[in-house]
Amino acid sequence: AQSVTQLGSHVSVSEGALVLLRCNYSSSVPPYLFWYVQYPNQGLQLLLKYTSAATLVKGINGFEAEFKKSETSFHLTKPSAHMSDAAEYFCAVSAYNQGGKLIFGQGTELSVKP
């Protein structure tokens, strides 16, 4: 069975500060991992994905995430927060034998203070 835990339902940072959103997963088989972003009144958009190539994955809008197998983590970071980064972020896991089904974490709402 697979599961995803996002630590912190709300994270608040100042504009220009480091963004760190935490994601830990559980999977009995090698996982595929995704980060999605949801802006108000919109659907989810893919930020980045890990598919067993490089462990450091770069995504859109300056975000990146690092896959750490020993820690079963896939934390999302951005060096300098922008006001436009305020949104809800979801971590999700899939596996090669799951036919593309995603298991989502609970979500983390990111607020950016001026």
Binding site for other proteins (CB under 8 A): 4, 6, 9, 32, 34, 36, 41-46, 49, 51, 90, 94-102, 104-107
Minimum distance from CB of 79 to other proteins (Å)? 24
Task: Write phi, then psi, for 8 (nearest 5 degrees).
Answer: 95, 110
Residue labelled with tokens 């036919």: 99
CB nearer to other proteins: pick between 51 and 111: 51
CB nearer to other proteins: pick between 19 and 33: 33
Q: Looking at the DSSP assignment, which residues form a beta bridge with residue 57?
A: 65
CB nearer to other proteins: pick between 18 and 46: 46
Residue labelled with tokens 């994601």: 23
Minimum distance from CB of 65 to other proteins (Å)? 14
Which tokens go with 68?
């750490």
Element of type H or E holding 114: none
